[in-house]
Amino acid sequence: QKVSVIGLGYIGLPTAALIARGGAQVVGVDVSAHVVETVNSGRVHIEEVDLDGLVQGVVARGNLRASLEVEESDVFIIAVPTPVSEDRAPDISYVLKAARTIAPVLKAGDTVILESTSPVGTTEAMRDVIGTIRPDLKMPGTGVAGDIAIAYCPERVLPGRILVELIDNDRCIGGITPRCARKALGFYRQFVRGACITTTARAAEMVKLVENSFRDVNIAFANELSVIAENMDIDVWEVIRLANRHPRVNILSPGPGVGGHCIAVDPWFIVHGDPENARIIRTAREVNDGKTDYVVAKASDLIDEFGDQDIACLGLAFKANIDDFRESPAVKVAARLARRYGRRIKLVEPYARDLPMEFAGTGAELIDLDTALEQCGVFVILVDHDMFKSVPVDERAGKAVYDTRGIWPDQPRRVAQPAPGRLAL
């Protein structure tokens, strides 16, 4: 069996490597010469737990190679980006381009599977693109039995656990027709240990969008609550902890906003598909994005209250214990503070080797946690890395803290001293 994976990014490369480990001949196709060269030399261009060793092994054994060109295969997996444009519309141009690229090499009996997060209807659109280029092949779902199978099977893996979750997670496999679904099912069963459940392509497209929207809406609930509680001078973390003792309540954690490449993007695909009815989903997006602005304002108030002390921003990653800084609300908050307070801003991020480009020219610098605890009087906590949680209370006594993640619940509140000559009311 020969498998082509189109797009060697965060999903494509681990998927290609896993299938290759199972013994198939896998060709990874990418538009970037750098990516192709890197993979062919047995190395990786992305950070993911255990991926480097796996790629090195399968490339050395000859089961995986990368190429700029597509070639004949039995199965094609498309894992290319589907970003949102400025006006929040989904951009499926990379998917359609991939469909145009593989169309000339398709033959009867092949299976084409789309894995990219996509608005409902994309798999059918892909089929139509292929059908236009290859009128000699019968397309599935057009009233005749198709010569090829076309299916949608979303990835659901969590960054940092991709290789484990690719195997263990349940998969939802949507065929353009039931026959297409069965064909794709046979393929996934070879390397997935989780349950593989078949449905239609349109339902499977929606399932993926719904999963991430569900999480976004629930995080928005927690973020909204955190603002309301702060206004009422109540500890939101305590409220959530106590409310979650109810057997049917499970509130998620507030933070400085929602980051990553999926949860802050995918809900817009649903909103764009039905703007009139997707009201909670749109509002949740606005609440989560608004939380970032709110944190900048609140942190600025605290900084201004404490005069000219240095400020430590703890964490830049988009979530705890990972080294991914793209689409990170922590970077957004810290960069805005750095533009305002310049070299007084000190960034503490154990997972960063260099400062992200957002900080260029601001004067902000990276320092380690111990130096921050010695030098800085104000702390803005943006990421709940384990390393930050374990700072003992006596080492942070006397610091003014704005804690967006609730990791220092026992921090004594510090009240600013009135400036000389001014009366405290």
Q: Which residues are catalytic?
A: 208, 262
Query: Using CA atoms, how far apart are residues 185 and 78, in angstroms rounded to an integer?
Result: 16
* Token digits of residue 203: 């339902």
Residues 199-228 that bind ligand SAJ (CB under 6 A): 211-212, 215, 219
Does residue 52 touch ligand SAJ according to CB under 6 A?
A: no
- Any residues with CB less than 8 A from the CB of 128 and at least 6 apart, and which? 139
Q: Which is nearer to ligand SAJ, 183 or 385 (CB)?
A: 385
Taking each helix axis from N to C terminus, what angle separates 266-273 and 201-231, rounded to the nearest 10 degrees? 110
Exactly one of 253, 283, 300, 309 binds ligand SAJ (CB under 6 A); that residue is 253
- Give me the least distance between CB of 3 and ligand SAJ, in Å please: 21
Exactly one of 146, 255, 267, 315 binds ligand SAJ (CB under 6 A); that residue is 255
DSSP 8-state assignment for residue 99: H
Q: Which is nearer to ligand SAJ, 159 or 350 (CB)?
A: 159
Query: Using CA atoms, how far apart are residues 294 and 314, in angstroms rounded to an integer?
Result: 17
For the window 103-122, what string marks contact with ligand SAJ as x by the rule CB under 6 A?
A: --------------x-----
Distances in Å between the Cα of 412 and the Cα atoms of 99, 167, 200, 392, 399 are 59, 46, 55, 12, 8
What residue has token string 């949860």? Answer: 263
Type and span of the H or E element at 2: strand 2-6
Q: Which is nearer to ligand SAJ, 157 or 314 (CB)?
A: 157
Exactly one of 70, 77, 126, 263 binds ligand SAJ (CB under 6 A); that residue is 263
Q: Which of 50, 113, 62, 47 is nearest to 318 (CA)?
A: 47
- Give me the least distance between CB of 50 and ligand SAJ, in Å please: 17
Residues 296-335 that bind ligand SAJ (CB under 6 A): 318-319
Exactly one of 60, 68, 89, 158 binds ligand SAJ (CB under 6 A); that residue is 158
Does residue 141 touch ligand SAJ according to CB under 6 A?
A: no
Q: Are 81 and 115 in contact (CB under 8 A)?
A: no
Q: Which residues bind ligand SAJ (CB under 6 A)?
A: 117, 155-159, 211-212, 215, 219, 252-253, 255, 258-260, 262-263, 318-319
